[in-house]
Amino acid sequence: MIEKLRQTLEKNKDKYITRLSELVAIDTHDLGHGIDGGLEKEGQDYMVELFRQMGASSVVKDQMTEAVIEQSIAQHQEGNPGHNYDGRYNVYATFEGEGSKSILFNGHIDTMPAGDEKLWSTPRHTPTVKDDKMYGLGVCDMKGGLMASAMAVELLKDAGIPLPGKVVITSVVDEEGGGNGSIAAAMNGQSADAVVVCEPTDQELIAAHMGFIFFKIEIGGKAVHSGSKWLGVSAIEKAVKLMAAIDELEHKWLMTYKHALLPAPTSNVGVIEGGTAGSTVADYCCFKTCVHYLPGQMSHEQVVEEYTGAIYRCCEGDEWLKDHKPNISIYQAGGSFEMELEHSFIESFRRAYQIAMGAQVKVVGSPAGCDSRVWKNIAQCPTLQYGPGRQAQCHAVNEYIELQQYLDAILVYAQLILDWCQE
């Protein structure tokens, strides 16, 4: 069977590569991390037509709504409110098979904005192949994985091999805004006996990822001329003191928590803003951080309690801050993910990879969060993350995917469908 798939893949690879190129050529970037909307509609229209041409038994367009995100926040502490959903919808394609088992492939169609066009050596939305790589915005993150899952179904069809079970492909929007598309899909009932999130993994199998919380800390001070600095209170200096308290908490976490597949928890100050002039004591300072925390051992609620606790304890020892506490808010968050290593779906994937690639797949964890958490924690599905491309290419200038990895992913996905659904 695998030789038939390999021969069919070689015979049809130009068609499969062309499909990827057509999708990359469509601009589907988010606006303001999805808060201001997104341009996914043309890409989703393309996927609808593709799925229909492939003979899907059903193709559903699911309009995004604020209500479902609010419901998820209330029930699961997952979701990012206040996004513009004009013209933004998920697409769910179902391909019925002979058996009762099912598998779902998940991919997001939205991309980050391209940034400065002058930094790109190729046009961002003109897919360019050179040195066996395809360049273009979103080709790695993650149109390569999304299209590979569709072409895996096409490969089985081209090889004349009937689907042994039901295959569902979800093409979702607003992932770059925190995962709202997959959240809506899971909340609206999309599920299967197993799920593959097709984010790039550089041919490794991700079975765990860290949770994340973005904090915004705003500090008020007292502005005066810098020549009389002692009469004022510098919000910037107070922010530095609070950042030191957070560093101490991070050190405690580093010494306390260990995970077989993941690094220790981290806290990163990524943005700091404050002050109006070098000659003025700053009366306002804001810094934004991101915490990555471990599955199983830590929770969203715990991290928030310890993080805010470290800041407020520091305030108690400061004459100004004890009476002028900072404002702490959370502006984006996502849960952690961990798949049981002894689960039969991992064994099925190992077998499929061994047959397709002639090697054992390496099982790893990822410090970056993705939609895997949604399918495991909200949809309650056995979930793994595997897809073509390297994580270093995500959100990168001159983004590319190695075409051999793309073709290999098609083969692995096809073999996984056969292995999992025939059990």
pLDDT in tens, the chain (423 residues): 899 999 999 999 999 999 999 999 999 999 998 999 999 999 999 999 999 999 999 999 999 999 999 999 999 989 999 999 999 999 999 999 999 999 999 999 999 998 888 899 999 999 999 999 999 999 999 999 999 999 999 999 999 999 999 999 999 999 998 899 999 999 999 999 999 999 999 999 999 999 999 999 999 999 999 999 999 999 999 999 999 999 999 999 999 999 999 999 999 999 999 999 999 999 999 999 999 999 999 999 999 999 999 999 999 999 999 999 999 999 888 999 999 999 999 999 999 999 999 999 999 999 988 999 999 999 999 999 999 999 888 889 999 999 999 999 999 999 999 999 986
- Coil/strand/helix, residue 116: coil
Alpha carbon distances (Å) from 338 to 160, 174, 278, 354, 371: 36, 23, 48, 23, 12
CA 227 to chain centre: 49
CATH number belonging to the domain at 211-334, selected among 3.30.70.360, 3.50.50.60, 3.30.930.10, 3.40.50.300: 3.30.70.360
The enclosing H or E element of 31 equals: strand 30-31
In this prediction, residue 423 carries a pLDDT of 61
Q: What does the block give as tokens for 362?
A: 């390496």
Query: 326-362 as b/e, with b when 16 or more CB fall inside 10 Å?
Result: beeeeebbbbbbbbeeeeebbebbeebbebbeeeebe
Identify which of 94, 206, 194 has the alpha carbon closest to the alpha carbon of residue 150.
94
Q: Which fold has domain 2-209+337-421?
A: Aminopeptidase (3.40.630)
Distance CA 377, CA 295 (A): 11
The answer to whether the CB of 165 falls within 8 A of the CB of 155 is: no
Residue with tokens 């419901």: 71
Domain ranges of the chain: 2-209+337-421, 211-334
The answer to whether the CB of 361 falls within 8 A of the CB of 242 is: no
Long-range contacts of 300-304 (CB under 8 A, 24+ apart): 300/77, 300/211, 300/213, 300/333, 300/335, 301/77, 303/211, 303/213, 303/265, 304/213, 304/330
In this prediction, residue 368 carries a pLDDT of 86
